[in-house]
């Protein structure tokens, strides 16, 4: 709590604006990640901290998602993936789940009518067990994907009712069926063909360079288990609704200072 108020004081003194200017300049002079992913965590704790309802906190979180995507694209990052709702989250109590689904509905409606989608040519794809979502949300998702399917300047992937384990199991089933049907030989199944069956196969760069998780939790929670094999991980204590552009820039700078070895 103390650090939060210190940040507010510094912002009021324009210290943050000056720091952000030079930090952004530094980051843009170095190699940027092509694909950044976010695990959006901390909405409920944000509501407790500020004494607001969970619904209000999730609404702030939706607006923050739009801002974060814009910050990334402004820097030159081409792909952004957002982990909004895990498959396990579907088993939360009905009251909490209703709030989360309403925030997804809110975000989807905003996305459908956002002029920046066509202006910047943003391809939007939703991945996960979409069939488990309410009909009206599924309809919104369909409209968004149809509207943006031919855009290829930037990519936003939204993970809803998603499980990395479930995704891999489905790939195994699909490959097993192809072997059974005689379409491929079992010896044809190698590591390099698996990405062609993953839910991220629509992306030019399906393997994230950087995974950012907010709220202080330090785990992937089933997020892109195959794709994130060599991703750099960055964990921050900042709650998702309170995530700032400076936090993004710090994460990217941290990424730029690492030497990626890809297991070698």
Q: Of 120, 124, 130, 119, which is closest to residue 147 (Cα–Cα)?
A: 124
When comparing pLDDT for 142 and 4, which is higher? 142
Neighbouring residues of 242: CB distance < 8 A, sequence distance ≥ 6: 4, 42, 46
Residue 88 corresponds to which tokens in the numbers above?
């396990």
254 given a catalytic annotation:
no
- At 122, give phi and psi (nearest 5°): -95, 120
Q: Tell me if 11 is assigned to some domain.
A: no
- 196 belongs to the catalytic site: no
Q: Express each pLDDT in 189-243 by its tens digit.
A: 999 999 999 999 999 999 999 999 999 999 999 999 999 999 999 999 999 999 9
User: Is 174 a domain residue?
Assistant: no
Q: Is residue 136 part of a domain?
A: yes
Residue 91: CB partners within 8 Å, gap ≥ 6?
Answer: none
Q: Is residue 233 included in any domain, yes or no?
A: yes
Instruction: Please check whether residue 25 lies inside any domain of the structure.
Output: no
For position 17, what pLDDT does the model report? 83
Residue 22, in any domain of the structure: no
Q: Count how many domains the chain has.
A: 1
Mean pLDDT in the chain? 94
Catalytic pick among 31, 41, 43, 192: 41
Give the model confidence (pLDDT) of 109-127 as tens digits: 999 999 999 999 999 999 9
Looking at the chain, the whole-number percentage of residues with pLDDT higher than 70 is 95
- Residue 13 predicted with pLDDT over 80: no
Q: Which is catalytic among the residues 89, 114, 170, 254?
A: 89
Q: Which domain holds residue 54?
A: 32-163+205-256
For residue 242, being part of any structural domain is answered with yes
46: domain CATH number is: 3.40.1180.10
Place 3 in a pLDDT band, splitting at 50, 70 and 90: low
Residue 128 lies in a domain: yes
Read off the pLDDT of residues 41-89 as tens digits, 9 standing for 90 and up: 999 999 999 999 999 999 999 999 999 999 999 999 999 999 999 999 9
């Amino acid at each position: 709590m103390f650090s939060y108020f210190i940040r507010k004081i510094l912002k009021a003194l324009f210290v943050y604006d000056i720091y952000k200017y030079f930090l952004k300049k530094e980051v843009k002079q170095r190699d940027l990640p092509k694909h950044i992913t976010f695990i959006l965590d901390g909405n409920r704790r944000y509501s407790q901290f500020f004494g607001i309802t969970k619904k209000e906190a999730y609404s702030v979180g939706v607006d923050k998602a739009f801002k974060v995507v814009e910050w990334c694209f402004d820097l030159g990052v081409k792909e952004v993936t957002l982990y909004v709702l895990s498959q396990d989250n579907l088993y939360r109590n009905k009251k909490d789940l209703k709030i989360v689904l309403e925030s997804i509905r809110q975000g989807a409606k905003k996305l459908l009518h956002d002029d920046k989608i066509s202006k910047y040519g943003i391809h939007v794809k939703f991945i996960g067990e979409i069939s488990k979502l309410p009909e009206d949300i599924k309809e919104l998702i369909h409209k968004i994907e149809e509207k943006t399917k031919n855009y290829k300047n930037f990519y936003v992937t939204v993970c809803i009712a998603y499980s990395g384990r479930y995704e891999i199991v489905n790939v195994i089933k699909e490959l097993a069926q192809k072997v059974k049907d005689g379409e491929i030989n079992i010896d044809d199944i190698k590591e390099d063909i698996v990405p062609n069956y993953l839910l991220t196969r629509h992306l030019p760069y399906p393997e994230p360079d950087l995974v950012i998780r907010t709220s202080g939790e330090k785990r992937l929670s089933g997020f892109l288990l195959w794709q994130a094999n060599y991703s750099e991980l960055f964990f921050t204590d900042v709650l998702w609704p309170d995530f700032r552009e400076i936090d993004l820039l710090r994460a990217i700078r941290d990424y730029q200072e690492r030497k990626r070895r890809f297991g070698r």
